[in-house]
Structure 1
């Protein structure tokens, strides 16, 4: 294991997290990857699928239970990595969730609170607590990297454009009958971008390379609408895995401290 970089990816049993594991084990560079999954059974299914897709690899993959909304789960995962390796070279905060839906504009005012609180707890607070827990292990690495997976819809410039929302003009009247588009999700990712910047400044003197990665418009199961996303032009999730791999393997080191896109930098 001495020659392998130690990587932990949260939310890695499906979607972009799974595709990131796949992209890394396809690399000639050797890794030991902790495949983070909230559910052990779903994590085992992901491992079996990876073995089928990439039967030959220089890397190893180990399932680890981690729920970023559960402090005890995070602490236990930290202890597993610490006891086994005493360090972590790369932490990828990927776990995310969508709780928005098309019926949020109704008379149930409390639903707004539930949507935002649940979304922030996973996408923002979860990444914050996970990062804080693993920082000592990152600082034990000779080449530490810290990644946060964000979204194109977290861009203020992008969503300040006059064509918002991109799927058409909203009709007049209240409550809105149109799909208004992921208020909780996009605001949680905008908040995540600020957390990323904060960690970049906190850890840069220790030599930690910190990045935010915006994988692109991809047809993941986030929100359980992959087919609708494909109709809107979304590409397959493996594109995101390859983008993240370029950051892990140093091809985007000139852009440390920025939001990385496949081709260029995402505006704030």
Structure 2
């Protein structure tokens, strides 16, 4: 076990999380990959699919039940990882969600509060709780890496002018504005996640940790319930691009970009 990187990935049974597990599992470098999933049943199904897609590997994949919004679940999985492994070499905070559709479906204050509160509770607060809990196992590693999966939509530098086939440009003059999917709650929660990463870089500087935000790009996942096919029809790329990027960061290929938001092309502007 000493020569294998121990990598814990939340939300590892689907989307970019699954592709990250797959990229690491297919790597010639050996890993112990801890696949976090809210459902152990779904994790076992995902592992079965993984082993049918990658038939030869030096690594092993272990399912873990992790619900970021349940502190008992976090406490239990911490005890399990601590007792079995005693450390985590790379912690990949991938699990998250978009609930902007709730805002659109419930006009007024109730929809805004529900959508925004759930988005921040999962993407920011729960991620902070989980990372804080696992910090002792990270600093027990000789070369710890801490990753937060953010978004290209989190960039303040490009937010004012950014449009794509999902997010539209400025609406017509006047009020009320026509309904449009701006994903504002999701976008701002990911900007907050960037701030989280900066502070963790500060906290862990003297522990020789490398801390990153990962901006995987516009990829065809089921984020927000829009469906992979819907996003693909609007130009989204294959989720494997995000998985390969996370693999490279875990394996130390982007260490010069620690403390920044990294994407496949370099560093994303704040």
Instruction: State if a TM-score over 0.5 links the two structures.
Output: yes
**How does 1:219-238 map onto structure 2 within 5 Å?**
219-225=220-226, 226-238=228-240
Match of 2:247 among 245, 248, 253: 245
Is the alpha carbon distance of 1:109 and 1:54 closer, same or farther for their aligned partners in structure 2, counting shifts above 3 Å?
A: same
Aligned to 2:38: 38
1:10 aligns with 2:10: yes
Aligned to 1:207: 208
Unmatched segments (≥5 aa) in structure 2: none
Structure 1 residue 43 displacement after superposition: 1.0
Aligned partners of 1:33 and 1:7: how far apart in 2?
Answer: 5
Aligned to 2:48: 48
Aligned partners of 2:113 and 2:94: how far apart in 1?
Answer: 23
Aligned to 1:216: 217
Structure 1 residue 3 displacement after superposition: 1.6
User: What do you get for the CA RMSD once the two structures are aligned?
Assistant: 1.7
Provide Cα deviations, 1:181-205, integer angstroms capped at 9, x if missing partner: 1111111101000001000011011
SS in 2 for 1:215: coil
TM-score between both structures, scaled by the size of structure 1: 0.95
Provide Cα deviations, 1:147-174, integer angstroms capped at 9, x if missing partner: 0000000111111227698534423444
Is the alpha carbon distance of 1:102 and 1:174 closer, same or farther for their aligned partners in structure 2, counting shifts above 3 Å?
A: farther
Structure 1 residue 230 displacement after superposition: 1.4
**How does 1:1-268 map onto structure 2 within 5 Å?**
1-101=1-101, 104=104, 107-161=107-161, 167-225=168-226, 226-268=228-270
Structure 1 residue 67 displacement after superposition: 0.6
Structure 1 residue 106 displacement after superposition: 5.8
SS in 2 for 1:33: strand
Conserved? CA contact 2:145–2:209, under 8 Å: yes
Conserved? CA contact 1:106–1:175, under 8 Å: no
Q: How many residue pairs were aligned?
A: 268
Aligned partners of 2:137 and 2:123: how far apart in 1?
Answer: 22
Conserved? CA contact 1:10–1:93, under 8 Å: yes
Provide Cα deviations, 1:6-64, integer angstroms capped at 9, x if missing partner: 11000111000000000001101100011000011111111111111112100000000
TM-score between both structures, scaled by the size of structure 2: 0.94
More divergent stretch after superposition (102-111 vs 38-47): 102-111
Aligned partners of 1:184 and 1:58: how far apart in 2?
Answer: 40
